[in-house]
Structure 1
Amino acid sequence: MRDALEDQLQQHGISADDFSDLMIRLLDRGVLCRDESKREAELYDRFLQVQPLVEDYLWVLRIRLLHESRFNMVRIFPPGAEVPGLSDSDDSFNSGLRERLNQQEVSLVLVLRAEYDKALRDGQVDELGQVMLSLEALSLSHRHLLGRPLPENAGERQILLRRMRQLRLIRSPGDGTLEDGEGWLIIRPGIISLVTDTALSQLAGGVVLDDENPIDEHPDLAEGAN
């Protein structure tokens, strides 16, 4: 199998080390966005060169791959995860790749998806499928939908936003940062692949994540790989 893979890589002009580098990054982060950085642009372009080989490699591990070519984004999901845009999988076991978001992170992901859908309905999505949102509007939406504000502590709030950025769900506009409480953020279109319509409808119906409705009772938030 290794020899066959190396032969295929050679035909594509990719070394085994470069392929290993790509797979380690993808399995570690769970997502590649071409516009995130020069490094991710390089890895995404490498993925395009050997996409069938990447898919075959992940298929053996039963890891699911979603390639959103319109947005130059690749995201992987563990076996059994429900993934918007992909047919259901028969796998039902838990996986060590399964990433458990905490309650605050799940709540914010849901709010970001709700805001994205609102902008989509209002035609406020740019040509890259992105949505601009002020941090003030995000805070108001969080309070309105979930009955509680974002963390008041600036450090906790920045950790939470940084986590959303690591998941490639948001980014800062231009050269700006997410440090300013009166600033702006950009919601990436990849939010659609991480939150199912069922989870969104539960939020609209008033289902709130709290001690009586813990994270484990909301399986419709697709779980990505680390």
Structure 2
Amino acid sequence: MSQAPLQHALSEALNARGVTQAQFSELMIRLLDHGVLCRSESKKEAELYDRYLQIPELVEDYLSVLHIRLHHERRFTSLRLFPPGAEIPGEADSDDGFNSGLRNRLSQQEVALILVLRAEYDKSLRDGQIDEHGQATLPLEAINLASKNLLGRPLPEGRTERDALFRRMRQLRLIRSDGDNSLEDNETWLTIRPDITSLVTDTVLSQLLGEGARPASNDDAEEPSEKDEGEQ
């Protein structure tokens, strides 16, 4: 059976760039399934990111048919998907303050922690405490204190609950941490990725800092769909 015109055109465009249909499919499935891709996360994500660089216009054309936008953070070699209407720094505004790749709900605790991480990242940025990769490294105690000051509540005390919360932050490619370190220990250090700025807008951050603490609501947040931490 002959290929449909669109599939044939895509196949020819891919072949011209040295990418197979199977490789293109793998990249698109990963992006649509996870909603985020960071080159520094794993060998597999580095391979897929480099593949994207071979065919950026084909990936973006494919996503545009679905009305999904791709935000490419070139400085930090990351890709993140956003649905129609989502606010992307430097692009079209949205009525929602907190937007994401494929609109899966975050829990109230996850929303709260992301807001705190964004505020702490902004503080580190103002203080010039950012490394060459645009990352901010802070002790867990500082994040716990910021949660108390901004939202009126500390991080979860139970190890299981706290580990699950920060595991989700790693899955969303918002932080780095040593998986061998216990998050019960406030001396543990976490690295906040610059991608945090693409999820929490300056407007929401200003409201949080200007209006004081308020309980985070599930209506405030939707997340990039991602199921696994960096696969090797």
- Provide the TM-score with structure 2 as the length reference: 0.87
Deviation (angstroms), 1:100: 1.3
Distance between the aligned counterparts of 2:155 and 2:17, measured in 1?
48
1:209 to 212, 215, 225: 215
The aligned residue for residue 224 of structure 1 is 224
The aligned residue for residue 92 of structure 2 is 87
Q: Structure 1 residue 64 and structure 2 residue 82: aligned?
A: no
Residues 168-218 of structure 1: per-residue CA shift (max 9 Å, x gap): 00012xx664534221110000000010111111211215125xxx331x3
Query: Cα gap change, 1:207/1:137 in structure 2, threshold over 3 Å: closer, same or farther?
Result: closer
The aligned residue for residue 79 of structure 2 is 74
Alignment of 1:133-212 (within 5 A): 133-172=138-177, 177-180=180-183, 181=185, 182-204=187-209, 205-210=211-216
The answer to whether the Cα contact below 8 Å between 2:101 and 2:224 also exists between their aligned partners in 1 is no
Residues 66-114 of structure 1: per-residue CA shift (max 9 Å, x gap): 0000000000011222222322379xxxx99312111100100000000
Query: Cα gap change, 1:89/1:12 in structure 2, threshold over 3 Å: closer, same or farther?
Result: farther
Report the secondary structure of 1:190's partner residue: helix
The answer to whether the Cα contact below 8 Å between 1:84 and 1:196 also exists between their aligned partners in 2 is yes
The aligned residue for residue 131 of structure 1 is 136
Query: Cα gap change, 1:96/1:169 in structure 2, threshold over 3 Å: closer, same or farther?
Result: closer
Report the secondary structure of 1:133's partner residue: strand
- Mean alpha-carbon deviation: is it higher for 182-191 or for 79-88? 79-88
Deviation (angstroms), 1:161: 0.2
Distance between the aligned counterparts of 1:38 and 1:103, measured in 2?
32
Q: Which runs of 5+ in 1 are unaligned?
A: none
- Mean alpha-carbon deviation: is it higher for 181-190 or for 106-115? 181-190
The answer to whether the Cα contact below 8 Å between 1:80 and 1:89 also exists between their aligned partners in 2 is yes
Alignment of 1:109-128 (within 5 A): 109-128=114-133
> RMSD of aligned C-alpha atoms?
2.0
Q: Structure 1 residue 19 and structure 2 residue 20: aligned?
A: no
Residues 48-74 of structure 1: per-residue CA shift (max 9 Å, x gap): 111110000000000011000000000
Query: Cα gap change, 1:131/1:96 in structure 2, threshold over 3 Å: closer, same or farther?
Result: closer
What is the identity percentage for the equivalent residue pairs of Structure 1 and Structure 2?
Answer: 63
Alignment of 1:44-63 (within 5 A): 44-63=49-68
Distance between the aligned counterparts of 1:96 and 1:166, measured in 2?
13
Residues 135-156 of structure 1: per-residue CA shift (max 9 Å, x gap): 1111111111111010110110
Higher relative contact order (CA 8 A, sep 6+): 2
- Provide the TM-score with structure 1 as the length reference: 0.89
Distance between the aligned counterparts of 2:119 and 2:101, measured in 1?
29
